[in-house]
Structure 1
Amino acid sequence: MAGLVTTDRASLTVGTQVLLDGVSVGVLDGDRIGVVGRNGGGKSTLLRVLAGTQEVDGGRVIRVGGLVSGMLSQQDELAPEDTVAQAVLGDLAEHEWAGDARVREILHGLLGGLDAAAVGGLGALVGPMSGGEKRRLALASLLVADPDLLLLDEPTNHLDVEGVAWLAAYLSTRRTRPGTGLVVVTHDRWFLDAVSTRTWEVTDGQVHTYEGGYAAYVLARAERARVAAVTEERRANLLRKELAWLRRGAPARTSKPKFRLDAASELIGNEPPPRDEVELVRFATTRLGKDVLDLVDATVRLGERVILDSVTWRLGPGDRYGIVGVNGAGKSTLLRVLQGHLPLETGTLKTGKTVAVAYLSQELKELEPLAGRTVIDAITQVRSFTVLGGKEISASQLATRLGFTGGRQQSRVGDLSGGERRRLQFVRLLMDEPNVLLLDEPTNDLDIDTLTSLEDVLDGWAGTLLVVSHDRYLLERMTDRQVALLGDGSLRDLPGGVEQYLELRRRQEAVRSAPARPAGGAAPAAPAGAQPEGPSPAQAREARKALARVEKALDKLHARQAQLHERMAEAATDPEALADLTAELAEVTAQEEALEAEWLEAAEVVEP
């Protein structure tokens, strides 16, 4: 394959930090390369070197003649006086872009089509738009331009789950013309596995290359650590735990990873599951009792929008839920409701007597009063010791596990980067010893190593966890179940995970885009020989009967679950009885999931 751009012994120093130290790497025709590494390690700088906007101090950068590069940076570079059409489509005449299926697909995938509700229409000005909307415009503009070498710096920021899935599909299956390459910096591990054919790790001025996406990178990195007999035992254990998740969890069941499964099996053969669920449920029940948070027939409105419409949702001790939904569906609002910060129009919110809620918001304002303190002072202000994974650890130990090593604990809070402040925010929350933790987009500004450490810490945390995120990997890794806000006031359980959510959204879009029925209510005539669309009256009647039957069965199971939680709280000091009750609860949960799947199938017939 022909090389598009190559660095030959490239060196670059910024201030006192060596970002590139004799680096020789290349992007070949057809490459899709994911770039990983710690924040501040030089990933964005490497992209600028490949784009030709950053000169190197030593070595050289070789580009194929006539190569056209395009880069999405993390800074907004759109002209505020431009319209959406000017920002995205440039000088393309309407008949040119409207007749191009590729351009129409990009507009629909990133901007929700051309309806005014999505971005204010093609004539809307860029200036007043939010950062997320501008980010989508910049990405759409770059994809429409279709450069030979596409360089993307955190393209999934401000994209919801659907947007990330669309972008991954477009980059891996649609953009396949000869003479093109892709290099993407991202902390989204699902996206890396879905898109990348190779992985670059930027660390200590070097760039290490691996075949395959994130899963292959984790295995190769773990094997490298084992062969080299590294002394960083904690870091190696984290990698093995992450690998165990990849091997056993949903991401590893795809056909994407290219590493040897027998090597993976040998490496993690004796590795336990990431979480001891029996022990965590026991401890969570002891801390929380049977009552945690119960929303009963809750209705919530924001202006004219109905966020929740008569929703009942009961959260038990040790439950771990991921919440997905389109931007603006009300995910953050739901977290505010559960905290009691937003009143219900109807219904009730019941909070257990022992519940202590901690909320990781998307803002960092609560750290502003601490700007003059050191990191360790800001943590010990909350508490000096806490219990995690059944062991007492100090504030300094927890800070070290989340990346504040050595002298960094003496840094001033005001001097920290955005990612470091996010980590500090999380450490302070855990030191406060909550038993209910609400995380709103916790991946913001965090690199992959920090995310892995965060997941490892939460593996030993006993409590009820709710996570709002567009990061599919994190949701599957950190939570046991997912629910969705679909924008219609409902809260849908997702036994099939994020993939089921995407399918539900596709069906919603298909219903919206279906041609309206003619006046009089008659359905349009079907072509000769075509099968009739939608369920027959008999099928609809059977589905309604199934719904009624399943709902009664679910009510009985929910009552049984409540009884089991109560008995588990009473048996907290009896390990044998608690183990029996936990096994019984697992059977009830399995029955519940099967019934919920049956309910979803019937509901799709009744309300297609």
Structure 2
Amino acid sequence: MNLVNLESVSHAYGPKPLLDKVSLGVEAADRIGVVGRNGDGKTTLISVIAGTLKPDGGRVTHNRGLRIGVLSQRDDLDPALEVRRVVLGDRAEHEWAADQAVREILANLLGDIELSAKVGELSGGERRRTALARLLIDEHDLVILDEPTNHLDIEAIAWLAGHLSARRSALLVVTHDRWFLDAVSTRTWEVVDGTVQRYEGGYAAYVLAKAERARIARATEERRQNLMRKEIAWLRRGPPARTSKPKFRVEAAQALIADEPPARNTVELVKFASARLGRTVYDLEDVTLHAGGPGEGPLVLDRCTWQFGPGDRIGLIGVNGSGKSSVLRLLADWVRPDSGRIVRGKTVRLAYLSQEIAELDPARRVLETVEEIRKFVQVGKREWTASQLLERLGFRGDAQWKVVGDLSGGERRRLQLLRLLMDDPNVLLLDEPTNDLDIETLNELEDLLDGWPGTLILVSHDRYFLERVTDRSVALLGDGRLSLLPGGVDEYLQRRSAGAAVTARAGSAPQDAGGEPVAEAPAGLSAKEERELRKELSRLERQLDKFGEREAALHAQMADAAADYGRLATLDAELKDLRGRKESVELEWLEVADKLGE
């Protein structure tokens, strides 16, 4: 059953048609992800479907009694109301408190916000989460979300994906978060050149299907050209000899990428990075750091020792407020640690993209603003002009001559990132670089970073981008340490979940007369079994320590062997094997710790 129908719908802003005689329908079971370049009409399409925008032409019909819930990019919350009133309306406390679904939404989206707080006192991100919570608590036949993952951390995004997948309502979502698209959508709509191209499956299936369509289109065009050449030959020479018809075979989607090399040549990039950086990039030795300055704010690092080596590509993960940006500011020398020592390599040439958009001269042209840094830059083995890189990051044609003052926030962020890359750094610190970038631009940025030789440390809530451009993940789990995650984001979510379970158990543990928790033997274990498990836990921890030492030694050896390609390849293979064994041991450790209730 169709909930919404569009018949020959057209809409334009100025001379550009965003929708040109589009006809489509949204069915009751649909879960649709909407993709396309910024400015191509994604928000216009969902606004027409929602009924909040009347199109220039065509017809939009809604099922009678259709309940639509819409999360737009701008909220309409009353700043004078309390959060409780906005989200829960007139529901009595005993009513919503007894509803597990409501409690879950509040815990995952508003856990750090007082329900008695006024909306006007909230930050932009808190208002956004408040609007999302209000929407999810109500029942709808069709939920329409425009960039719902903005201001959510990786953990909250994972929860939201699971929540939406479990809802019975139809879903229409616009987002640049490709992992989220894959997690929640079963169909993909691409808005391009006034049309809506429809694909079955989530983002990954859409990419493969689009590539297959392009391949078939190329084959069709080649066949047409061949037929034209034959026709010309016939006109010039008379009827040619009979020839067999060309045969075209439609390959499976996997065949499209079967012969593609890896996205990055890790060995070669480490070799280049080592030549540019030497052995030392950043060495942290017993560093203690608070987010608000010495002794102020939450503790981020507690006597932490860590090494960032040449060619490392590291994703830094943690909940909002865990101190990820503080670590980047520490490495950038914007803040000083409470104690400890930071050794920075003498050859480090740093570029730091913070979440704040740098001031740019509003009267300058876009191209001039980049060329004042450098007109040419070498990325890997290729030299690029400022104009070529601008085009790759979405500034095409006349857009390079726009005045900076006329740019949107997303365009300014792209311009800031490009200016950093043009300065030819060998260390990149990127704090949420994907904000306001569309998927096409993200693909270009990923491809650009694939050939960039240096040390990259990235903070991003865009899980797809994080896993795509980095080789390792490191987490801030609130214990003052940097924890290596061989299993990436999945392992991070598992650890966070395990930590929450431990906290819940601790909260319900029996207490002595002074209110202190009393240690209990794990349920169902005899004293002998507990001793054996603790011995096993100790053995695994010693093994993990040895793996860590060997990993650090391998990084040092790879830096020393930068000029020896064969040796570097051997060391890289050993490192990959080591990481695999270390991951296996960590999983064993988690299983034993779980049996002990730790």
Asked whether the equivalents of residues 428 and 456 of structure 2 are also in contact (C-alpha less than 8 Å), the reply is yes
User: CA, structure 1 residues 534+500, in 2 after alignment: closer, same or farther (shift >3 Å)?
Assistant: farther
1:424 aligns with 415
Distance in 1 between the 2:439 and 2:398 partners? 22
1:583 aligns with 2:576: no
Partner of 1:561: 555
Contact 1:321 1:480 in 2 (8 A): yes
Choose from 322, 326, 342 the match for 1:329. Answer: 322
Q: Displacement, 1:264?
A: 2.1
- 1:237-273 superposed Cα distances (whole Å, 9 cap, x missing partner): xxxxxxxxxxxxxxxxxxxxxxxx9622321232111
Match of 2:93 in 1: 94
What is the RMSD of the two structures over their aligned residues, measured on CA atoms? 2.3
Distance 1:378 1:316, change over 3 A: same
Three-state SS of the structure 1 residue aligned to 2:198 is: strand
Question: Structure 2 vs 1, CA of residues 593 and 3 (structure 1 numbering), >3 Å: closer, same or farther?
Answer: same
Structure 1 residue 534: deviation in Å?
13
Mapped contact 2:522–2:597 kept (Cα < 8 A): no
Residues 1:353 and 2:375 are matched in the alignment: no
Q: CA deviation at 1:518?
A: 2.5
The residue aligned with 1:250 is none
Report the Cα distance in structure 2 between the residues aligned to 1:230 and 1:407, rounded to whole angstroms: 33
- The one-letter amino acid paired with 2:267 is V
Amino acid across the alignment from 2:193: D
Higher alpha-carbon deviation: 492-501 or 311-320: 311-320
Matched residues in 2 for 1:476 and 1:564: separation?
A: 23
Alpha-carbon deviation of 1:421? 1.4
CA distance, structure 2, for counterparts of residue 398 and residue 348 of structure 1: 38
Distance in 1 (CA, whole Å) between partners of 2:130 and 2:552 is 46
CA distance in 2, matches of 1:277, 1:184: 35
Greater displacement, 578-587 / 404-413: 578-587
Residue 215 (structure 2) aligns with:
226
Supply the distance in 2 between the matched residues of 1:406 and 1:328 (Cα, whole angstroms): 40
1:252 alignment counterpart = none
**Matched ranges for 1:101-116 at <5 A:** 101-112=100-111
**Aligned partners of 2:276 and 2:347 also within 8 Å:** yes
Match of 1:115 in 2: none
| Aligned-pair CA distance for 1:399 | 1.1
Aligned partner of 1:542 in structure 2 is 536
Return the alpha-carbon distance in structure 1 between the equivalents of residues 106 and 527 of structure 2: 29
Q: Is the 8 A contact 2:212 2:253 kept in 1?
A: no
1:450-599 correspondence to structure 2 within 5 Å: 450-514=441-505, 515-519=508-512, 521-522=517-518, 536-568=530-562, 572=563, 577-595=564-582, 597-599=584-586
- Distance, in Å, in 2 between the alignment partners of 1:149 and 1:553 is 51
Larger deviation: 157-166 or 6-15?
Answer: 6-15
Question: Does the CA-based 8 Å contact 1:311-1:491 persist in structure 2?
Answer: yes
Instruction: Using the TM superposition, give the Cα deviation of residue 277 of structure 1 relative to its aligned residue in structure 2, in angstroms.
Output: 1.6
1:495–1:597 contact (8 Å) kept in structure 2: no
Match of 1:377?
368
Indicate the residue corresponding to 1:249 in structure 2.
none
Deviation for aligned residue 1:600 = 6.5
SS at match of 1:439: strand
Distance 1:567 1:389, change over 3 A: closer
Query: CA–CA distance in 2 between the matches of 1:390 and 1:592?
Result: 29
Corresponding residue SS for 2:55: coil
Q: State the shift of 1:42 in Å.
A: 1.1
Per the TM alignment, residue 602 of structure 1 is displaced from its structure 2 partner at its CA by 3.4
**1:406-436 Cα deviation digits (max 9, x unpaired):** 1111111111122221211111111000000
Q: Give TM-score scaled by structure 1 length.
A: 0.88
On the 8 A contact 2:475/2:485 being kept in 1, the answer is: yes
Are residues 578 and 192 of structure 1, via their aligned partners in 2, closer, same or farther at CA, if it must alter by over 3 Å?
same
- For 2:70, what is the secondary structure of its paired residue? strand
Contact 1:281 1:317 in 2 (8 A): yes
Within-5 A mapping of 1:214-253: 214-229=203-218
CA contact (8 A) 1:518 1:524 kept: no
Compared with structure 1, are the counterparts of its residues 220 and 585 closer, same or farther at alpha carbon in structure 2 (3 Å cutoff)? Answer: closer
- 1:413 touches 1:421 (CA, 8 Å); kept in 2? yes
Q: Aligned to 1:364, what secondary structure does the other structure show?
A: coil
- Please give the per-residue CA displacement for 1:544-596, whole angstroms capped at 9, x wherever unaligned: 2432343245324423431331232xxx2xxxx32223322330353255236
Measured in 2, the distance between the counterparts of 1:585 and 1:477 equals: 19
Tell me how far apart the structure 2 counterparts of residues 316 and 36 of structure 1 sit (CA, whole Å).
37
Secondary structure of 2:253's counterpart equals helix
5 Å matches for 1:435-454? 435-454=426-445
Q: In the alignment, residue 70 of structure 1 is paired with which amino acid?
A: G
CA–CA separation in structure 1 for the residues paired with 2:527 and 2:268: 50
Structure 2 SS opposite 1:229: helix
Number of the residue aligned with 2:240: none
The answer to which of 588-597 and 397-406 deviates more is 588-597
Q: Which moved more, 1:48-57 or 1:583-592?
A: 583-592
Larger mean Cα displacement after TM superposition, 439-448 or 298-307: 298-307
Please name the residue that 2:304 is paired with.
311
1:263 corresponding residue in structure 2: 252
Residue of structure 2 in register with 1:389 after alignment: 380
Q: Secondary structure at the match of 2:359?
A: helix
Structure number, greater radius of gyration? 2
Greater CA deviation, 541-550 or 383-392?
Answer: 541-550
**Which residue in 1 is equivalent to 2:265?**
276
CA–CA distance in structure 2, aligned partners of residues 475 and 126 of structure 1: 32
Question: In the alignment, what sits opposite 2:331?
Answer: 338
Could you tell me how far 1:229 is from its partner in structure 2? 2.3
For residues 199 and 526 of structure 2, the distance between their equivalents in structure 1, rounded to whole angstroms, comes to 51
Residues 13 and 148 (structure 1), Cα distance of their counterparts in 2 relative to 1, 3 Å cut: same
Query: Which of these residues, 130, 135, 147, is aligned with residue 137 of structure 1?
Result: 130
What is the match of residue 163 of structure 2?
170
* 1:145-164 paired onto structure 2 within 5 Å: 145-164=138-157
The alpha-carbon deviation at position 535 of structure 1 amounts to 7.9
1:289 aligned to 2:288?
no
Instruction: Say whether the 8 Å CA contact 1:278–1:579 is kept in structure 2.
Output: no
- Whole-Å separation in 2 of the counterparts to 1:538 and 1:547: 14
The one-letter amino acid paired with 1:312 is T
Match of 1:185 among 174, 187, 208: 174
Distance (whole Å) between structure 1 residues aligned to residue 323 and residue 584 of structure 2: 24
Name the counterpart of 1:203: 192
SS of the aligned residue for 1:119 comes to coil
Cα distance in 1 between the residues matched to 2:173 and 2:543: 49
Aligned counterpart, 2:246: none
Tell me if structure 2 keeps the 8 A contact 1:376–1:410. yes
Q: Distance in 1 between matches of 2:314 and 2:527?
A: 36
Letter in 2 for 1:328: G
Residue 579 of structure 1 aligns with an amino acid whose one-letter code is G
Q: Say whether 1:602 aligns with 2:595.
A: no
CA contact (8 A) 1:443 1:471 kept: yes
**Are the equivalent residues in 1 in contact too, given 2:209–2:253 (CA < 8 A)?**
no
Residues in 1 aligned to 2:528 and 2:103: alpha-carbon distance in whole angstroms = 29
Tell me by how many angstroms 1:230 deviates.
9.7
Q: CA deviation at 1:28?
A: 0.1
Q: SS where residue 359 of structure 1 aligns?
A: strand
Count of equivalent residues: 558
Match of 1:65 in 2: 64
Over residues 468-501 of structure 1, what are the superposed CA-to-partner deviations in whole Å (9 max), with x where a residue is unaligned? 0111111111101101111221211000010000
SS in structure 1 opposite 2:479? coil
- The secondary structure found in structure 1 opposite 2:442 is helix
Aligned residue in 2 for 1:253? none
Gapped regions of structure 1 (runs ≥ 5): 113-117, 233-260
Tell me the equivalent position of 1:406.
397
Structure 1 pair 163–438 and aligned structure 2 pair: CA distance change class (3 A): same
- Counterparts of 1:344 and 1:533 in 2: how far apart (Å)? 44
